Each structure stands twice: as C-alpha cells, then as structure tokens.
Chain A
Amino acid sequence: MSPALIGVCGVLVLFALLILRVPVWIALVLVGFFGNVIVLGWQGAFALAGTTPFDVASSYTLSVVPLFILMGEVASESRLSGELFKAARVILSGFRGGLAVATLAASALFGAVSGSSLANAATMTRMALPELRKAGYDDGLATGCIAAGGSTDILIPPSIILVIYAAIAELSVPKLLAAGLIPGLVLTVLYMAVALAIAHLKPHYAPDNETHTLREKIAALREPWQFLALFVVTIGGIYAGVFSPTEAASIGAFGAILLGVLGRRLGLKDLRRAIENSVVVSGVLFVIVMGANLFSFFIVQTHLPDLLLDTARAFNLSGLAVMMTIIVGYILLGCFLEGIGMVLITVPVFQPLIVKFGYDPIWFAIVVVVMVEVGLIHPPVGMNLFVIQAQAPDVKITAIYRGIIPFLVAPLILIVLMFLFPGLALWLPKVLYG
C-alpha cells in the first residue's frame, strides 16, 4: 500500500473513531501514533510520541491560549458584558431592530476580549435574551442574533482557534490575529443587515419602542471604555509590535482582573471560578493539540496532500473548484465535528494542497475559521444553538433553528467577498508586518 493510501485509511479510521464517540484527542493520538508506526516504524513513532507532549506543553507560542481564555473568563464573570449590552441598547435605540443590532454589537465587542464563541453565546444569552424577550422580540430572531453574534468571537481577535491554527500550520500568530479583524467586523455588519432585514420584513418580530436622547446616547458611549481599553492595549499592542502575543495576553488577563476588582464586579469566588474554568478548558485544548501534532506529522509523512493534488489535476480541477469542494466539505463536516477538531484534522491535509494552487495560507486560515463559524451555528448540531438552549430551556430548539437560518446567509456572503477581495484578510497583516 502506498503511503498516500495509508494516509487516506488513517483519515477514514479517524472519522470512524470520532463517530463512535471516541474523544477527539484520543482519536488523533491513536491514528497519529499507529499511522507513524506504519510509516516510520516503532522506534520513530515512539520517539515522536515521547517528545510531542513535552514540546507542546512548553511551547512559548501556545502560552497565549490559557491567558486569553483567562481574560475572557474574567470578563464574563465580572459581568463587564452586562454594561456593554446596556450601553449598546441605549446607543442603538430609536429604530426597529435596534435591540437586535445592539445584541450583535455587544457580542462583537465582547469578542474583542474573549476568544471563545461558546462563552460569548452563553454570556449574551444571560444578558441579552431576557431583555429581548421583555421587549417583545420573537424568540427565533432573539436567539438567532445571540448565536450569530457569538460566532464572530472566533474571528475577532483574540481568537483561541486562530492561535492554535497558527501553531499547527506553522503560521505567524500576530499575522493571523490581524487577518481575522476585518472579516470579523464585516461579518458583524452582515449579521446586523440580516437582523434589520428581518425586522423590516416582519415588524411584529422586533417591536422596538425604546428611545433615548442624544445626551443619553453620548453618555452611554463612556460605558464600554473597559472593553475598548483592554482591546486597544492587548490586540493594539500586538498589531503595533509593542508586545508579543504572550505579553499582550498576560497584560489583558491582568487588566481584566484589575478592572473587575477595582470596579467591584469581581469577587474572590468569581475569580476562582474563572481560573478553574480556564485550567479545565485549556487542559481540553492542550491534549488535542498534542494529538493533532502526532496526526499532522503522520499526514505529512504519507504525502496525502500530494495525492489530492494529483487527483485534482487528473480531473482538470481549477484552484477555485478545489476551494469550492473544500468549502462544501467544511459545511458537511460542520454538521458533526466540533470547531477545534475540524481545524486540527483538516488543516494538515488541505493547507499544502491549496498553497500548491497558489492560495495564501493566511487567507485560507480565515476562510476555514469562517466555515467553523458556520458549523457553530448551523442546524442540527451547531454548538452555539445548544448553548443558548441550555441557558434558556424554555425556548424551543425549533424556534432557535428557525431563527438562525436567515443569519447563515451572512458568512456565505463573506466567503464570496473574500474570494472577490482577498485583501479583506490580507491587507491588515501586510500593512502591519509587510
């Protein structure tokens, strides 16, 4: 059997294990290890499995991950997001759909200090859903806004998934964090357009009657200053080259704790819970990255991407056709794979392929993350939808499904825009880092 066919078998076994409820990290370790045994022999496979956990656990690049998780957890526990939502609803009041747009704006801003989509969706469900329902919003529209808004979190820096992607694909973390910003903002605007269109077409879904004076709106602008300060210092610091990502994440986490304590919004219990959650979530992610490293090495050894390239050329497929196939594949994978798993399993296979077709790996990373976002919100298994339902069990899952469907148009429009204008993802990294 040729190495490439061994690679194909490895991928198939991986999916079989995942479907049989084997945790993602175990499936990656098993396929990666035994795949390397077949390709390299026992000695080589053991050598790799012996050094990988140590290398991953002492990787300076990956130290960003728990620190950004801590920053987001602290921001969530200290209820900074509540103030953010209050400010957004005042500033964006006075027109139909204003509260829905405020929810999306607050989600995007919360995404600027949090790197987890699920944490964002959970937090905004607690903050925004009762207010949206009190204002008479349709459950579907309300939950659709929250789920869609939460998904922008993984694109707007700091994004945990982009940091892990960078580590696996050997790309620059600052460049990827820069590449995600403009598509993240464009996607937020597209989601807002969808919410406004629904409010316009079905006025009874969004019966806004809240109005505030200009003075109140200007006063409300002062409220989100903590979020803006944290974002400017951390992400601005990385963009400006003042801090390394680890330094920025440390300052961000420290700043979030300081703001919470000084503002008396963060008690000892809240801090403890935030730290405990950060440890557990990071533990989950680090073992997956260890497994992904083994799996990635196996895929590289099998030259599977070369086989895919030869197949594409045999069928005379253009680069665009290959990208379209990959995007459809991601939509299907998103039906049953979790975001981080989806990235870590597919990137070692697809990235070398698309690079050979002339696509930029940074641009591709953003396309992949947008597709992960789609996976987070599309029925029947979008994780954000389940998070919302877990937080608000009285909202029917069918209402949540109905509510999210119009929002799925937005990331697909973003993908089209990224094909037409690759600069959406590539301009900022080029300006900042050349």
Chain B
Amino acid sequence: MTLRNRLIVVADTLQRIQLWLAAIALLVLMMVTVADVFLRYLFNAPVRGSYDMVESLLLVFVFNGMAATFFGRRHIVIDLVDSFVGPRATVALVRIADTLSVVCIGLLMWAMRVPAVQAYQYGDIKLELHLPIWVLWAVAFAGLVGTIFCAIVALVARPATTDVGHA
C-alpha cells in the first residue's frame, strides 16, 4: 500500500470515528432535552444542568462533525467558473481551496490557543454542571486536530474532484 493510500485509510477511519462521536453527541443532546421536557412537565423535576449539557454536547458535535465535511470536501462552493475554465484550471482551483482550508483551520486553531489557556488559568466553569471550561476547549482542539489532518489528507492525497456540497 502506498503512503498516499495509507494516509487516506487513516483519515477515513479518523473522520468516521469523529462522525460517530458527533452522532452520539447529537443523540444524547436530543435525549437529554426530551427527558428534561418530560420530567419538567410530568413530575416538575427538570434535568439539572440540561442547558449546560446542550451547549457542551453541541460543541462536541460541531468540532467532531467537521472532520467528515473536510475529508469529503462537502463545503458549499460557487462552481460557476467551472464552465468558463478548463478542467485543469478547475483542479488547480480545488487544490487552492484545499490549501486555504488547511490555512484557515490552522489560523483558527492558532487564535483559539489564547482563550483556551486563559480558561484554564482562570478556572472558568459551567455554572450548572460545574464542568471546567478548559475541558471543552480541549475537546474543541482534539476535534480540530482530526479535522486539520483530514483537510491535509484531502489536499495531498485525495484526487481533486469537482463535486460541490449544498446545504
């Protein structure tokens, strides 16, 4: 197996794991909220910390769900230019977009390190769950590391297809 194929296999496995982490976070988020509503209306006993749980689970969901989006190049793209330039130019534009993708994620990660360190130093916590906020920053960074790896593999190892994502 070539290095390129190995990279694709590793990235594919990683994005699948992250996708399922995100899926589990979404299902738990849904169940916590449903349980909160039922317990609140039926027994006047809402789930303690449900608001914080929703926010924290959404964060797990978002930062892990991004890997699949980046690996599959599912971003929304205006592809009008495809009909005016040749296939080689289109491939070059896809590669530029891949490169910018890695740069932007790297830029955001670099910028995020200061507030993450501050959250750790100041000992900020979630008010209801008493969960240290630096834990959530750690989750965000872990998700972004996987995402940037998938974005790099899409850049260096995946063929530059011109499929575009639509929301």
Which residues on A are within 8 Å of B, measured CB to CB?
A: 18-26, 29-30, 33, 46-47, 49-51, 53-54, 56-60, 62-63, 66-67, 70, 116, 118, 160, 243, 246-247, 250-251, 253-254, 275-276, 278-288, 290, 336-341, 381, 383, 387
Interface string of B65-93 (1 = CB under 8 A from A): 11111001011111111100000001001
Asked whether A21 and B166 contact (CB < 8 A) given A57-B140, A279-B26, A338-B76, the answer is no
* B115 part of interface (Cβ distance < 8 Å): yes
Q: Which residue of chain B lies nearest to A257 when distances are taken between CB atoms in the complex? A: B30
Residue from A57, A60, A62 within 8 A of B63 (CB atoms):
A57
Q: Which of B24-79 contact A (CB under 8 A)?
A: 26-27, 29-31, 33-34, 36-37, 51, 54-56, 58-59, 61-63, 65-69, 72, 74-79
Residue from A59, A279, A383 within 8 A of B166 (CB atoms):
A383
Which residues on B are within 8 Å of A, measured CB to CB?
A: 19, 22-23, 26-27, 29-31, 33-34, 36-37, 51, 54-56, 58-59, 61-63, 65-69, 72, 74-82, 90, 93-94, 96-97, 100-101, 104, 107-108, 110-116, 136-137, 140, 165-167
- Flag if A254 contacts B81 (CB, 8 Å): no
- Flag if B66 contacts A287 (CB, 8 Å): yes
CB-defined contacts of A278 to chain B, threshold 8 Å: 23, 26
Those 4 A-B pairs whose CB atoms lie nearest each other, nearest first: A283-B69, A23-B75, A250-B33, A57-B62
A-side binding surface: helix, strand, loop or mixed? helix
Residue from B27, B54, B114, B137 within 8 A of A275 (CB atoms):
B27
Q: Please, how many angstroms separate the alpha-carbon atoms of A243 and B77 in the complex? A: 36
Closest Cβ of chain B to A27, distance in Å, is: 9
Closest Cβ of chain B to A159, distance in Å, is: 12
Q: Please, how many angstroms separate the alpha-carbon atoms of A124 and B20 in the complex? A: 29
- Flag if B100 contacts A46 (CB, 8 Å): no
Asked whether A280 and B68 contact (CB < 8 A) given A51-B115, A338-B166, the answer is yes
CB-defined contacts of A250 to chain B, threshold 8 Å: 29-31, 33-34, 37
- Flag if B23 contacts A276 (CB, 8 Å): yes
Q: Which residue of chain A lies nearest to B68 when distances are taken between CB atoms in the complex? A: A280
Closest Cβ of chain B to A5, distance in Å, is: 25
Residue from B19, B33, B56, B76 within 8 A of A288 (CB atoms):
B76
Closest Cβ of chain A to B166, distance in Å, is: 6
Q: Which residue of chain B lies nearest to A43 when distances are taken between CB atoms in the complex? A: B114
- Flag if A243 contacts B37 (CB, 8 Å): yes
Asked whether A60 and B55 contact (CB < 8 A) given A22-B100, A67-B30, A282-B65, the answer is yes
CB-defined contacts of B113 to chain A, threshold 8 Å: 50
- Flag if A251 contacts B37 (CB, 8 Å): yes
Residue from B33, B72, B93, B104 within 8 A of A21 (CB atoms):
B93
Q: Which residue of chain A lies nearest to B93 when distances are taken between CB atoms in the complex? A: A21
- Flag if B62 contacts A283 (CB, 8 Å): yes
CB-defined contacts of B108 to chain A, threshold 8 Å: 29, 49-50, 53, 290
- Flag if A280 contacts B65 (CB, 8 Å): yes
- Flag if A63 contacts B29 (CB, 8 Å): yes
Asked whether A280 and B74 contact (CB < 8 A) given A58-B55, A251-B34, the answer is yes
Residue from B33, B63, B114 within 8 A of A46 (CB atoms):
B114
Residue from A276, A286, A337, A381 within 8 A of B62 (CB atoms):
A286
- Flag if A341 contacts B94 (CB, 8 Å): no
Q: Which residue of chain B lies nearest to A116 when distances are taken between CB atoms in the complex? A: B167
Residue from B36, B65, B81, B111 within 8 A of A286 (CB atoms):
B65
CB-defined contacts of A341 to chain B, threshold 8 Å: 76, 78
- Flag if A284 contacts B75 (CB, 8 Å): yes
Between-chain CB contacts (< 8 Å), 17 pairs: A20-B81, A23-B101, A24-B76, A26-B101, A50-B114, A50-B116, A53-B112, A53-B140, A62-B58, A63-B55, A66-B58, A250-B34, A275-B26, A282-B61, A283-B66, A283-B74, A284-B167
- Flag if A26 contacts B90 (CB, 8 Å): no
Q: Which residue of chain A lies nearest to B136 when distances are taken between CB atoms in the complex? A: A58
- Flag if B140 contacts A21 (CB, 8 Å): no
Q: Which residue of chain A lies nearest to B119 when distances are taken between CB atoms in the complex? A: A54
Question: A56-B62, A278-B23, A280-B65 are known contacts; what are 10 more A-B pairs with Cβ within 8 Å?
Answer: A23-B76, A23-B77, A30-B104, A49-B108, A54-B137, A63-B54, A279-B61, A280-B74, A283-B67, A288-B167
CB-defined contacts of A243 to chain B, threshold 8 Å: 37
Residue from A50, A118, A338 within 8 A of B112 (CB atoms):
A50
Residue from B26, B66, B78, B110 within 8 A of A337 (CB atoms):
B78
CB-defined contacts of A276 to chain B, threshold 8 Å: 19, 23, 68
- Flag if A33 contacts B167 (CB, 8 Å): no
Asked whether A280 and B69 contact (CB < 8 A) given A24-B75, A47-B114, the answer is yes
